[in-house]
Amino acid sequence: MRGILQMNNVANYYQMIDEASRFSRNSRKIEFLTTNFVLEKILPPHAKILDVGAGTGVYSFHYAERQHEVVAVDITPKHIKAIKEKCRKSDLNMEAYVENAIDLIRFGSETFDAVMCFGPMYHLTNAADRDRCVRESLRVLKRGGLLAVAYINKYSCIPMLATRDRRFIRDSVIEKVINEGVIVEGDEDCFWTDAYFTSPEEIEALLAEFKVTGVDHVGTDGISHTIQEYVDALGEKEFESWMKYHFQTCRERSVLGMSTHGLYICKKE
C-alpha cells in the first residue's frame, strides 16, 4: 500500500509543476547537454529506445528527431498528454503511455536497444521497487543493449540546501539524506516530494547485482546545480568555456562525488 501512496505523491507533485521548463537555465541544461554528450557517442544508429520516466519528453523528442525509434512512458498523466499533443503538432510518430517504471508489462522482453531510466530512481524510496525497476528495464532490453540510469547524489543535497533553504540545514535532515537516503512527503524534514538519494558507489553496487557491464559513469551537472546563480549569469562565450571544463572533468571521481545528478551506463550481458 505504501508503494502505491508514494507513486501517487510523485505523480501528483509533477502534475502541479512545470517540468517542461526544467532545462531552461544554464545551470539546469548542463545535465541535458552532458547526458547527450555521452549517449550520442555510444547509441547504435536508428536505435529503438524506451524512455522510462520521460517527463514531458525532452529526451524522447531529442532522440526521435535524430532518427531513433522512441517510446516514452511516465507515471504522470499530464506529461504523457503533453508528449502526445506535441507529436500531433509535429511529423514525429512516437508512442507514449502512462506507466509505472516498476511494471513494464506492456512491453515484451528484449524489445529495446537502449533504456533511458532518467527519473524513476529519484523517487523509488523502497529498495524492492528499485530492484524491480532495474529488473524490468533489463528485461525489455536486448542482450548487449544499453541501460542508462540517472540518480541524485546524496552528497550534493546539503550544500545545495545551504544555498536555497537554510531551514533544512539541521541534524535530522542530514541523517535522512546521508544515512537513510530517503525523504517522504508530509514529513517535517521533506524538502521535495518522496525522494531517494544515493551515491556513485551505491549506484554502481546496485547495478553490479545484475548481469551488466559498466560502460560509463559521469556527473551530469558537476557542481553547476549547487552554484546555479553564478553559472546562470555566464555569458554565451563564458558558458561555452564552462562546458569545455565540465566535459573534461565530469568523470573525475571527486567531481562525480559532488555532482547533483549522476548517470551510470551499463550494457546487458
Return the pLDDT at 86: 94
| 142 SS3 class | strand
Res 201 pLDDT > 50:
yes
Beta strand 48-52 pairing with 112-117: parallel
Domain 2-268 part of CATH 3.40.50.150: yes
pLDDT at 2: 41
**3-state DSSP assignment of residue 83:** helix
- State the pTM of this model: 0.93
DSSP calls for 239-257 = HHHHHHHHHHHTTSHHHHT
Q: Please, how many CA atoms are within 13 Å of residue 156, restricted to the half-sphere of its CB?
A: 27
The tens digit of pLDDT for each residue in 24-60 reads: 789 999 999 999 999 999 999 999 999 999 999 999 9
Average pLDDT, whole number, for the chain?
A: 93
Nearest to 161 by CA among 199, 204, 131, 197: 197
CB of 223 closer than 8 Å to CB of 183: no
pLDDT of residue 1: 38
- Give the percent of the chain with pLDDT over 90: 87
Q: What is the pLDDT of residues 68-96, one digit of tens each?
A: 999 999 999 999 999 999 999 988 889 99
Q: How confident is the model at residue 17 (pLDDT cuts 50, 70, 90)?
A: low
For residue range 127-184, list pLDDT tens digits in order.
Answer: 999 999 999 999 999 999 999 999 999 999 999 999 999 999 999 999 999 999 999 9
User: Taking the domains of the chain in order of start, what are their residue ranges?
Assistant: 2-268
